[in-house]
Amino acid sequence: MRNICLYFQVHQPFRLRNFPFFDIGENGDYFDEAANRALLRKVAQKCYLPANKLLLDLFRKHGKDFRVSFSISGTILDQFERYMPEVTESFQKLADTGNVEFLSETYAHSLAAMKNKDEFIRQVNAHAEKIESLFGQRPLAFRNTELVYADFIGETVHDMGYKVMLTEGADWVLGWRSPNYLYRSHVRPDLKLLLKNYRLSDDIAFRFSDRNWMEWPLTSDKFVHWLNAILEEEEIVNLFMDYETFGEHQWTDTGIFDFLEELPGKVLKKGFGFITPSEAAFLPDEGPLSIPYPVSWADEERDLTAWLGNDMQQDAFDTLYELEDKVVRCQDVRLKRDWLYLQTSDHFYYMCTKHFSDGEVHKYFNPYESPFDAFINYMNVLADFSLKMDTVNEIQQALYPSERNYGSKLSV
């Protein structure tokens, strides 16, 4: 039986406020509360609430035959709690159906795996605890930020107890092989790998409303016809995309909700089944897959250049993680929370200078006029954050001189 693994990423960052040089040392807040609230409410009204309602109706209609999976970042869960708790409640209603698998990821939607293994593990554990507390599921499958994977990340994820991980089915990774199989990690054979079918996924996520696309308009019948053309022996088609595809990236008047409403029934009639990542881990695998260099689901290159491709990004990234020792010694819960939110990958994405084939994607929800503005603002925040950490740690040392490691476990 051929299977569809339908996975949605749900994420929004805490965006920074304008933080000029002269604010450094003035004890100001870092995040733009008004902008974050307004954007969250906008996306929730256009996407999260109506899409969740539609999925709930589809679960009632198709029962256990239709299943999906979500990865919801800790940053947006915190925003739901702060600004719109009804969105969390709508996801809890989906969880109660038993038709949804919630995946694990880094709490801050960060690139910590590329820099700091201990921080990566802390965030993954914190996120798993948050998911379990909200939705009653301890995640069994893992999805790293932006589907970033390399063999060394797979080792860590496996050693944390996960049995399956999602990543990108990039051409430079697969070569002649198809993404429509289950693979296993070359370095940890017990870790199974699900690879995104980026062509079919991006037909929905990016090309759906593009009137210059030769396949426009994309209907559910046409899409199911493409699925049905896949070879019988190719056992799983992984459709991975941002949840914001529905109603935000692709507006309601494009017909995107109608497409989603019709798709499950037409897929099921063709003899496909829907499967979640942890269920897919039990399929027979096609063999080992080695990915020595990081792959992601971003841009044409499917690498890390969207976040770490220029000197500004790398300087900011290095400066951020140079602060880790100060954070570990700190007992201030608010500063630890800021540390988490400052790690979110979006801050580095805004500094990207790739304004060619992928330029429009990098402008989406970007609050800055230029990558340089994003870099300067972020570095000003880090400078202020470092000063705050120094002050707090000096006070702690004065009050508790016998303590040497105040906070080996970061709280969220």
Domain ranges of the chain: 3-289, 307-399
**395, 397, 401, 403 alpha-carbon torsion, rounded to 10°:** 130
Token output for 39? 């954007």
pTM of the complete model: 0.94
The domain made up of 3-289 has a fold known as: 7-stranded beta/alpha barrel (3.20.110)
**Structure-block tokens of residue 29:** 């807040």
Q: How many C-beta atoms surround the C-beta of residue 89 within 10 A?
A: 12
User: Which residue among the candidates 101, 105, 119, 146 is catalytic per the annotation?
Assistant: 146
* Per-position b or e across 285-305, b if 16+ CB within 10 A of its CB: bbeebebeebbbbbbebbbbb
pLDDT at 331: 87
The pLDDT of residue 402 is: 61
Tell me the C-alpha distance between 74 and 81, whole Å: 11
Q: Can you give the pLDDT at residue 35?
A: 96
Residue segments in the chain with a per-residue pLDDT below the cut of 50: 356-359, 362, 406-411
H-helix or E-strand spanning residue 236: strand 236-242
Q: Which of 371, 365, 368, 245 is nearest to 306 (CA)?
A: 371
- The residues, any chain, with a CB within 8 Å of residue 152's CB and separated by 6 or more, are 187
* CA triple 393-396-402, angle to 5 deg: 115
146 an active-site residue?
yes
User: For 381, phi and psi rounded to 5 degrees?
Assistant: -65, -45
Q: Which sign does the torsion angle of CA 368, 371, 372, 377 carry?
A: positive
Residue 185 three-state SS:
strand
Are 292 and 172 contacting, i.e. CB atoms less than 8 angstroms apart? Answer: no
